[in-house]
A and B are shown apart, each in its own frame.
Chain A
Amino acid sequence: MKGDRLFRIVLWIVAGLFSAMMVFMLASLLKESLPSIKAFGMHFLYGKEWNPVVDKFGLLPFLVGTLITSVLALIISVPFAMSIALFLGMFSKGGFWPKILGYGTDLLAGIPSVIYGFWALFFLVPIVRNFEMKAGIVPYGVGIFTASVVLAIMIIPYISSISKEVIKLVPRDLIEAGLALGATDLEVAKDVVLPYCRSGIVAGILLGFGRALGETMAVTMVIGNSNSLPKSLFAPANTMASVIANEFTEATTTLHLSSLIQIGLWLFILNAIVNVIGMLIIKKMEVK
């Protein structure tokens, strides 16, 4: 009995410490970004200029860059991820090749992002550049579009493996009932399976979105790192995470450093907002 109490206390402490960690993180981010908050106030949020030479800092170009790349990545990745999940979770009956396919997508999730960056730089960027040359756009090769495609590839395994697992949980009777009523495979997938597990799928999509928001290395390598508001989908831009990674080590003035930390604070907040929205959606969609 006594052992049980101790066990429970230890669990409480560990869980408590971990949650406290989040509060401490937020507090230290807030503390370190105070000089920048004092200097710019709310103007920081919609300031368009980022100029370390004259100590003038605004978040807007990076916020825009982050949101555009992540949303675009989501739009590109969801159809692919859903197809993979439906195939692996519902249609394939096990066997060698589907298993290999499953391992393959799961493996993609574990590849370090710098490798995605390299791959994109040497493979994807020339393709995009060729396309841009033919389309008559300035052939940078790098930019928002390229970054979004890399991000999409990176988050597909997250979305597809979670979706696959929830699709597997759909009761066999439901699927068979649908088929027995004369529905085609597509109709069963569309009207039975997906509605049944939509909350799980949304959770997977949000996980992918969160990952896209914070992805640093791969994006930095292919987004072109221009600290002004992007003018088109193919223009170079910068994201919140990548500007921090770029400028943090050599930020010498207090204001520069604390502005970078304030970007981190907003990234933290952005992620929290996405998570809360996600939880609300999941709650609403849960099958009763």
Chain B
Amino acid sequence: MKKLIYALFFGLFSLSFVTGTSMAGSKELTGAGATFPYPLYSRIFSEYYRAHGVKVNYQAIGSGGGIRQLMAKIVDFGASDAYVDDNGLKKFSAPIVHIPMTAGAVVLSYNLPGNPKLKLTPSIISGIFLGKITRWDDPEIAKANPDIKLPKLNILVIHRSDGSGTTFIFSDYLSKISNEWQKKVGRGKALKWPVGLGAKGNAGVAGMIKQIPGAIGYVELIYALNNHMSYAAVQNRSGNFIEPSINSVSAAADIELPDDMRVSLTDTSAEQGYPIAGFTWVLVYKDLKNGGLSKDKAQELINLLWWMTHQGQRYASPLHYAPLSKVAQRKAEAIIRSIVYNGRPLDINPGY
């Protein structure tokens, strides 16, 4: 009888190993992180698998989760919509690098009778989200939109209730254009909102806006385009009112960029750039040996990163993502070239 019990335990014990080891195939890479670029990544990875037979297993668990899993070396690469700040970098056991993959934008969508095309200035936007402008017929909004008859409606602010890269980009923008916002609220993926209702996900915010006359909220550009929502043109630093679009987002990234690419694109100095935009990144260890990868796997990862930032870029526009600008692509190349394995550089295969 004892044998039976031992067998039972042994069975349970070995079962837990089977699930653990099945992940370690050499022609397979694992990543986890941001949900925002997930549709693009899954397209790129499936094309990559067709071209090179390397399977990439990407789990869209959220930027925070991606960063944590990279830190714990559970995945080969992480992905995030917000770059890791200096404090966060210190928590990693070894240096990591950020490789930009695509850029996205956040648009202000609203529900007003007749769906007018609104123009919003930075001061109007911060006023609304700080709860200081509470009515649509406010003189400041009227001044920026002389051609539109504004309804006598209360403004109802809708924001994301879940922690989100979208919220980070939007609050980063507000922090740059408004001192009061910077002091009272600040930037982050989850905030202490001065006014408004929270809804979960882009879909939740969009649904709430559609239901409530007078509502205004922020959603990802891709989401607004796919769902034909009305959104505002926003005045940028050069004073131009810019419609959010793939072109104006790419234009926002056409500026002086730092070498490590940890940069926010909000409140861009580009003349035709849409001011509420940001990169999304793939994160890897600078020395891939520190990430627990084998040499072969490290080479596979380098090939993948190069492909994503070059051949893979053509899948961006059809899915409403902004492809990397030339400047950004050059910087990404330099970063990929700087990645090493055990101190030695890896091969770069541009035509791969």
Contact = CB atoms under 8 A, between A and B. Distances in A.
Interface in A237-268: 238, 242, 245-252, 256
Interface in A212-229: 220-221, 224-228
A53 B197 contact: no
Contacts of A140: 156, 197, 212
Interface in B123-176: 154, 156, 161-165
Given A6-B1, A250-B163, A252-B189, A236 B198 contact: yes
B216 to A, nearest CB: 14
A2 interface: yes
B255 interface: no
A49, A238, A246 pick with most chain B CB within 10 angstroms = A246
B335 interface: no
B66 to A, nearest CB: 10
Contact of B191 (A52, A238, A242, A248): A52
B64 A129 contact: no
Contacts of B187: 53
A84 B105 CA distance: 52
Contacts, number: 102
B63 interface: yes
A228 B131 CA distance: 15
Contact of A52 (B65, B190, B196, B207): B190
B200 interface: yes
Query: Which of the four size classes fits the interface of chain A?
Result: 35 or more
B197 A250 contact: no
Contacts of B343: none
A256 B190 CA distance: 10
A69 to B, nearest CB: 15
A51 B162 contact: no
B17 to A, nearest CB: 19
B198 A225 contact: yes
Interface string B1-32: 10011001000000000000000000000000
Contacts of A54: 186
B192 A249 contact: no
Looking at A9, A142, A250, A256, the one whose CB has the most chain B CB atoms below 10 A away is A250
Interface in B62-81: 62-65, 67-68
A247 B67 CA distance: 15
A251 B200 contact: no
B114 interface: no
B211 interface: yes
A158 interface: no
Contact of A226 (B162, B190, B197): B197
Interface of B: 1, 4-5, 8, 61-65, 67-68, 88, 154, 156, 161-165, 185-193, 196-200, 204, 207-208, 211-212
Interface of A: 2, 5-6, 9-10, 49-54, 121, 125-126, 129, 138-142, 220-221, 224-228, 236, 238, 242, 245-252, 256
10 contacts: A52-B163, A52-B191, A53-B185, A221-B200, A224-B198, A236-B197, A249-B163, A250-B164, A250-B189, A250-B190
